[in-house]
Amino acid sequence: MANKKVSVFFCQECGNETSKWAGKCPSCGAWNSLVEEVIDKTSVKSRAKVSDVKPTKIIDVTASNEQRISTNIEEFNRVLGGGIVPGSMVLVGGDPGIGKSTLLLQTCQKLCLSGVNVMYVSGEESLQQIKIRADRIGKFNDKLDLLCETNLDTIKAVVEREMPTVLIIDSIQTMFNESVGSAPGSVSQVRESTSVLMEIAKGKGIAVFIVGHVTKEGTVAGPRVLEHMVDTVLYFEGDRHASYRILRGVKNRFGSTNEIGVFEMRDTGLEQVKNPSAVMLDGRPENATGSIVTCSMEGTRPILVEIQSLVSKTAFEIPRRMATGCDYNRVNLLVAVLERMRDAKANRSCGIFLGRSDVYVNIAGGIRINEPAIDLAIALAIYSSEKDIPVDEGTIVFGEIGLSGEVRSVSMAEQRVNEAKKLGFKRVIMPMSNIHSVKNIDGIIVVGVSNIKEAVDAISR
Residue 441 has pLDDT above 90, yes or no: no
Q: What is the pLDDT of residue 243?
A: 81
Which residue has better confidence, 67 or 409? 409
Q: How far apart are CA 194 and CA 235, in angstroms?
A: 18
Opening angle at CA 82, ends 81 and 87, nearest 5: 80
DSSP 99: S
Supply the pLDDT for residue 80: 92
What is the pLDDT, as a whole number, of residue 347? Answer: 47
pLDDT score recorded for residue 43: 46
Instruction: With H, G, I as helix, E, B as strand and everything else as coil, classify residue 188.
Output: helix
Torsion of CA 282, 288, 289, 295, to 10 degrees: 20
pTM metric for this prediction: 0.77
14, amino acid identity: C
| pLDDT given at position 299 | 78
pLDDT, residue 41, reads: 53
Mean pLDDT value of segment 243-262: 86
**Position 196, amino acid:** V
Give the number of other Cβ atoms within 10 Å of residue 133's Cβ.
Answer: 14
Average pLDDT over residues 286-294: 91
| 277 backbone φψ class: left, alpha, beta (φ>0; ψ -120 to 50) | alpha
How far apart (Å, rounded) are the C-alpha atoms in residues 161 and 200? 12
Q: What would the mean pLDDT of 233-253 be, rounded to a whole number? A: 85
Q: Is-contact 449 429, C-beta < 8 A? A: yes
The dihedral region occupied by 144, where left means phi > 0, alpha psi between -120 and 50, and beta the remainder, is beta
Please write the tens of the pLDDT for every residue from 83-102: 999 999 999 988 888 889 99
Q: CA separation (Å) from 113 to 121, 159, 202?
A: 19, 20, 25
Q: Is the pLDDT of residue 182 over 80?
A: no
pLDDT over 90, % of the chain = 48
pLDDT score for 4: 61
Q: How long is the chain?
A: 461
Q: What burial letters (b/e) apply to 413-450, b meaning 16+ CB within 10 Å?
A: bebbbebbbeeebebbbbbbbbeebbeeeeebebbbbe
pLDDT recorded at residue 106: 95
Cβ atoms 353, 335 nearer than 8 A: no
Find the Cα–Cα–Cα–Cα dihedral 291, 295, 299, 300, rounded to 10°. Answer: 150
Q: Report yes or no: 33 and 12 within 8 Å, Cβ to Cβ.
A: yes
pLDDT band (50, 70, 90) for residue 65: low
**What is the arithmetic mean of pLDDT over 32-51?**
63
Residue 371 has pLDDT above 70, yes or no: yes
User: In angstroms, what CA-CA distances link 399 with 190, 325, 431, 455, 456?
Assistant: 42, 18, 6, 10, 13
What is the H or E stretch that residue 428 is in?
strand 427-431
383 vs 315 pLDDT, higher one: 383
Ranges 18-27, 120-129, 235-244, 254-263, most confident: 120-129
pLDDT band at 344 (very low <50, low <70, confident <90, very high): very low
pLDDT at position 460, please? 78
Q: Residue range 162-167: average pLDDT?
A: 95
Average pLDDT over residues 245-251: 89
* Least confident segment among 138-152, 228-242, 357-371, 443-457: 228-242
End-to-end CA distance of the chain: 84
Task: Give dist(CA 211, CA 425) in Å, integer.
Answer: 41
Work out the average pLDDT over 215-220. Answer: 59
Got the DSSP string for 231-278? SEEEEEE--TTSSEEEEEEEEETTS-SS-EEEEEEETTEEEE-S-HHH
Tell me how far apart the 2 most distant CA atoms of the chain are, in Å: 84
What type of residue sits at position 16? N
Alpha helix stretches (DSSP H) within 341-396 = 375-387
